[in-house]
Amino acid sequence: MAERLRADLVLEYPFTRTTGPVIGAFLTGLREGIILGIRRPDETVLCPPTEYDPESSVPLTDLVEVGPGGELMSWTWVDPPRAQSPWDQPHGLGLIRLDGADTPMVHGLLVDGPDQLSVGMRVTARWRPEREGHIADLEGFVPEGADQ
């Protein structure tokens, strides 16, 4: 029998998507260094924002600033990051409920090790100096009071 065959296969699509008004506003905010949520009819705020209310389907249009500080609701530690990760160092991934928002968003937690993370801790956004309107404009979240 012949030797076993093996090949590297890469499936890659360089998509560019149009954002629509709500995600576009969220990304515009990131480029300008602020985080936006969107207000629901019951006055609670979704962050990240969605175009429609997830329960009633009514269109949502009232974008409001939230954060940059928030509370860590849950987290996991990633070591090592995968090749396609936005982060090249071991890091946390957390659900962060930003101040003024009622739902948590997922983002990276930039600390040296998992012993520096705990549910309920305060974290705050760290921005990249050069931003273009992309979720990666937010480099991640760091413990409040840490060097940002």
Partner 1 sequence: MSADPSISPAALSGEVSLPEKLADVEPVRSVRTPIRLEYDFIPGSASSGYLNAFADRKILGQQSPVDGAVFVPPRGVDPRHGAATPDYVELPDTGHVGGFCVTRLPIPGRDDLEIPYVSAWIHLDGADIGFLGLVAGIDTSEVRMGMRVRAVWKPDDELGRTAENILYWEPTGEPDIPVTAAGTNAWHAKQAAAGEPG
Residues that bind partner 1 (CB under 8 A): 2, 4-25, 27-29, 31-32, 34, 36, 51-53, 55-65, 83-84, 133-134
**With respect to partner 1, which residue has the nearer C-beta, 83 or 145?**
83
CA distances from 147 to 57, 68, 120 (A): 41, 14, 20
**With respect to partner 1, which residue has the nearer C-beta, 79 or 132?**
132
CA angle 60, 141, 17 (to 5 degrees): 45
| 90: preceding bond cis by omega (within 30 degrees) | no
Report, in Å, the least distance between residue 36 CB and partner 1: 7
Report, in Å, the least distance between residue 31 CB and partner 1: 6
Report, in Å, the least distance between residue 43 CB and partner 1: 15
CB atoms within 10 A of CB 30: 23
Report, in Å, the least distance between residue 82 CB and partner 1: 10
**With respect to partner 1, which residue has the nearer C-beta, 49 or 140?**
49
Q: How far apart are alpha carbons 79 and 108 in whole angstroms?
A: 12
**With respect to partner 1, which residue has the nearer C-beta, 30 or 72?**
30
Report, in Å, the least distance between residue 17 CB and partner 1: 5
DSSP calls for 62-115: EEEEE-SEEEEEEEEEESSPPTT-S-SS-EEEEEEEETT-SS-EEEEE--SSGG
**With respect to partner 1, which residue has the nearer C-beta, 28 or 116?**
28
Q: Using the 8-state DSSP alphabet, how is residue 5 labeled?
A: P
